[in-house]
Amino acid sequence: MNLKILIVDDNKAVRGLIASRLRDLGYIVDQAADGKEALERLIQLAESEIRPNIVLVDWNMPQLDGISLCKWLKSCQAYKKGPHVYVLFLTINEGTESETMAYRAGADGYIVKGSWGELEAKLNAVKDRIIEEAELRKTIATLQQDPSGVLVKREIIDRLGRRAAQNDQLPLGIVLIDIDGFKEINDTHGHVAGDQILEAVGKRLQDSVRNGNVGRYGGDEFLIGLPGCDRETTEKRAQDIVARLTADPISTSSGAIAISISYGTAVNADPMSLDSLIELADRALYQQKRKKKKVVNLFPT
């Protein structure tokens, strides 16, 4: 794992020497000539995938010193999200008082300049923590994800439940969809083909609902959240999503299989619990499936 380090130091020679040494250790190095330039760089990279993992900052710099830069970074909402950014002071300021001041500003480490062994040891310790955190995030993401690729039931229920409880952010539209005749698909083509259909439906749903509010509700049912959508918009979105899900047959180990989808919608234009919303959507889904069965019975094969 190649970690990214931003070196902030107003001494060009010192900055270059440190950068060269860190590149030899395998780090990806960026540089800023002072605190102000570093602040501009950090603002630019805040939402980027290439934002630094570690900021190695000098204490005394013109315009914006290391303490002020550290305080800004630790209070910035954009940097409170995502992977933790470690701030290490590399300074000539020795003594307990300076070290205490650095940690109170939010620093993750304090190294006196010239101690290469101490710097390398501290960076190795931070690297181990970053790798552990990345593995933990990956594990959590895996636990949140259903085999079909969308969120597991408890995760989608938790997300939409919190959204439904925020009365100041109404409305919330939800869509409950169901694959018609899924049991017959499993019986005819086998469970491997059935699983492949669920995976394909999950992928198409993720492409259709890009804000991540889609999860497996159970069996062949999927639950979709549409924040900010009124009844008309929710119904239109549901129709568009179903059209995308059924536009093309799904390739499986048993050949291409065309599917049809039933759906039900509900909207909490007024305060309403998520359970009540899902119950309304489930009723609408059931009514649509009944209508389809009546149409099929009129024209028996």
Surface-to-core class of residue 98, CB atoms within 10 Å of its CB (0-12 exposed, 13-18 middle, 19+ buried): middle
Tell me, yes or no, if the two domains 4-143 and 153-298 fold the same way. no
> What integer pLDDT is reported at residue 90 of this predicted model?
87
> What integer pLDDT is reported at residue 17 of this predicted model?
93
In the chain, the amino acid numbered 249 is P
Measured CA to CA, the distance from residue 131 to residue 59 in angstroms comes to: 27
> What integer pLDDT is reported at residue 139 of this predicted model?
63
The predicted model gives 119-136 an average pLDDT of 85
68 pLDDT higher than 60: yes
> What integer pLDDT is reported at residue 301 of this predicted model?
41
| 195 tagged catalytic | no
Measured CA to CA, the distance from residue 253 to residue 80 in angstroms comes to: 45
67 pLDDT higher than 90: yes
In the chain, the amino acid numbered 79 is Y
Q: What is the mean pLDDT of the chain?
A: 88
The DSSP code for 151 is B
**Element (DSSP H or E) covering residue 86:** strand 86-91
- Count of C-beta atoms within a 10 Å radius of residue 225: 23
Cα 159 to its chain centre, rounded Å, is: 13
193 pLDDT higher than 50: yes
25 pLDDT higher than 80: yes
296 pLDDT higher than 60: no
**Is 19 within 8 Å of 51 (Cβ atoms)?**
no
191 pLDDT higher than 80: yes
Confidence of residue 190 (pLDDT cuts 50, 70, 90): very high
125 pLDDT higher than 80: yes
**Is 239 within 8 Å of 224 (Cβ atoms)?**
no
* CATH class belonging to 4-143: alpha beta
Coil, strand, or helix at residue 170? coil
Delimit the domains of the chain by residue range.
4-143, 153-298
Q: What's the length of the chain?
A: 301
Coil, strand, or helix at residue 251? strand
Q: Does domain 153-298 have CATH number 3.30.70.270?
A: yes
Cα 165 to its chain centre, rounded Å, is: 21
Catalytic residue among 10, 195, 220, 275: 220
Helix axes 66-75, 35-45, angle to 10 degrees: 20
Cα 259 to its chain centre, rounded Å, is: 30
Confidence of residue 62 (pLDDT cuts 50, 70, 90): confident
CA nearest to 37, candidates 83, 69, 3: 69
> What integer pLDDT is reported at residue 143 of this predicted model?
64
Q: Give this prediction's pTM.
A: 0.56
User: In this predicted structure, which of 11-20, 49-58, 137-146, 278-287 has the lowest mean pLDDT?
Assistant: 137-146
Confidence of residue 298 (pLDDT cuts 50, 70, 90): very low
